[in-house]
Amino acid sequence: MAKAIFIYVRNFSMTLWTLLLTMLLLSASSFGQAQQTAQTMLIRLAEIEIHEQHLDAYKAILKEEAEASVRLEKGVIAIFPMSSKEHPTQIRILELYADQAAYQAHLKTPHFLKYKNETAEMVKTLKLVDMHALDLEAATAIFEKRVSQTNETTKGKK
């Protein structure tokens, strides 16, 4: 079963989209489910621009919503919010759901509805872009390398 991942990064380079997507896809597919996952997983990029005067409040609400989604919803694999270094009001959210049904269920949750209601006036533009994975084999290698590096770092801190 895929494990949910929540990562919140304030200023993440937009040039790392491919690496990020690969790592998150792997978290959902590394347990022998790569083909099935690639066919059923819903992958979406939300491209959002926030009114500058609402940026801090928006980020706080988004962080709360993303954390709750991953923690409470089995079908939410990852919600990864980030902002452009050059244009901090440009928010991107990488969203990974087990399937379309998980996404539809997400839209009805109290935490998502609260997020939508509280941020409606803060959002200047919103574009949702559906994506698909191109190379899960390469993603596996990248993810395994990252997990190995993380394990080594954790051992060094003990």
Q: Are 43 and 133 in contact (CB under 8 A)?
A: yes
Q: What is the pTM of this model?
A: 0.69
pLDDT, tens digit, 9 for 90 and up, residues 36-92:
455 688 889 999 999 999 999 999 999 999 999 999 999 998 899 999 999 999 999
96 within some domain: yes
Mean pLDDT over 9-28 rounds to 47
For residue 17, give the CATH number of its domain.
Answer: 3.30.70.100
Q: Are 18 and 100 in contact (CB under 8 A)?
A: no
- Local confidence band at 7 (pLDDT 50, 70, 90 cut-offs): very low
**Whether residue 104 has pLDDT greater than 90:** yes
Amino acid present at 94:
L
20 within some domain: yes
60 within some domain: yes
158 within some domain: no
18 within some domain: yes
DSSP for 65-117, written as a single string: HHHHHHHH-TTEEEEEEEE-SS-TTEEEEEEEESSHHHHHHHTTSHHHHHHHH
Confidence (pLDDT) at 132: 82
Question: 14 is in which domain, residue-wise?
Answer: 5-153
140 within some domain: yes
Residue among 128, 134, 143 nearest 95 (CA): 128
Confidence (pLDDT) at 4: 36
How many domains would you assign to the chain?
1
Report residue 65 as tokens: 């919503």
What's the mean per-residue pLDDT of the chain? 78
